[in-house]
Amino acid sequence: MTEQNQSTSAQSISAQSTRKTPWQAAVLTLFPDMFPGVLGQSLAGKALQSGIWSLDVTDIRGHGVGVHHKVDDPPFGGGPGMVMRPDVMAAAIDSAAQAMPADARRIYLSPRGKQLDQALVRELSAASGVMLVCGRYEGLDQRIIDQSGLMEISIGDYVLSGGEMAAQVLIDAVVRLLPGVMGNPDAHHQDSFEDGLLEHPLYTHPREWSGVTVPDILLSGDHGRIATWRHEQAKQITRDRRDDLWQKWLLSQPSSDGDGKNSNKKPLK
């Protein structure tokens, strides 16, 4: 199916419902064939099939204007590239909104946006769903961002050619937190960022490999000491690699000096 011959504006990838209220993702894109893409595989794919979440893809071109379904025009004031028209985007958003709960979060994937982090992922996993607008060209006319109340979210300080991969990153990160997706529901509590620290090192069989043995403590069976060792390793890795996270973690720790001030507090760089 090509971009041109998409006549329908919405393509539903339905999931057999095993829950009354699946987490709903609506994606607006000029490239509907990019979905579900990687989201159709592995954990996210199985969860989609089992109805833990649902995906509704709207082809923006289906709302384009004129015989050629035009979706973009040059920027007023001059400059390179093309801008996605607000009238076209409004029609696409209105159409997608019909299938979404009223309180679903409306998001425009954008390098100018708030950077996606685990706290925001958790927040989105608690919502009823998200509507994700994928930009192309130079991006969206500012008026549609303002009038539709689109929250801008970035996946990092680099520029992609379109929002589709950013949308897939966001959905994947959210879906793995949904109840029933991970075999072990506690698994994600140990992930990097969950407690503000990066994850400790991991080891598995064989015990000795390439001349290196697994740290003795992990073979001790003493779960208390293992937990302490892992926590110290997580702190060290975070301190060595991510000063921004480390400083935040220090500030989040309860006071130990009794005067209400955090004794771990170090000056922020």
CB of 215 to ligand SAM, least distance (A): 38
CB of 75 to ligand SAM, least distance (A): 10
CB of 191 to ligand SAM, least distance (A): 21
The helix, strand and coil proportions of the chain, stated in percent and rounded to the nearest 5, come to: 35, 20, 45
Q: Pairing between strand 129-134 and 83-84?
A: unpaired
Binding site for ligand SAM (CB under 6 A): 109-112, 134-136, 138-139, 154-156, 158-163, 166
Residue 230 phi, psi dihedral angles, 5° rounding: -65, -40
Active-site residue (options: 94, 191, 240, 243)? 191
User: Which DSSP string do the residues of 60-94 spell out, in sequence order?
Assistant: GGGG-BTTTTB-EEPPTT--SS-EE-HHHHHHHHH
**191 catalytic residue (yes or no):** yes
Which of 47/140 has CB closer to ligand SAM?
140
CA atoms lying within 13 Å on the CB side of residue 49: 7
User: Which DSSP string do the residues of 222-240 spell out, in sequence order?
Assistant: -HHHHHHHHHHHHHHHHHH
Active-site residue (options: 85, 106, 136, 176)? 176
Active-site residue (options: 73, 87, 138, 199)? 138
**56 catalytic residue (yes or no):** no
CB of 30 to ligand SAM, least distance (A): 10
**111 catalytic residue (yes or no):** yes
Which of 137/249 has CB closer to ligand SAM?
137
- Residues 256 and 224: their CA atoms lie apart, in Å, by 22
**32 catalytic residue (yes or no):** no
- Verify cis geometry, omega within 30 degrees of 0, for the bond prior to 36: yes
How far is the CA of 26 from the CAs of 23, 149, 228, in angstroms?
Answer: 10, 16, 42
The two three-digit tokens of residue 190, written as one number: 């140990």
Which of 56/141 has CB closer to ligand SAM?
141
Which residue's C-beta sits nearest to ligand SAM? 135
- Residues 100 and 97: their CA atoms lie apart, in Å, by 5
CB of 45 to ligand SAM, least distance (A): 23
Which of 22/86 has CB closer to ligand SAM?
86
CB of 43 to ligand SAM, least distance (A): 22
CB-based contacts of 125, cutoff 8 Å, min separation 6 = 23, 174, 175, 177, 178
Which of 112/266 has CB closer to ligand SAM?
112
Residue 72 phi, psi dihedral angles, 5° rounding: -140, 165
Active-site residue (options: 111, 141, 164, 230)? 111
Q: Cβ of 149: how many Cβ atoms within 10 Å?
A: 8
Q: Catalytic positions, please?
A: 111, 138, 176, 191
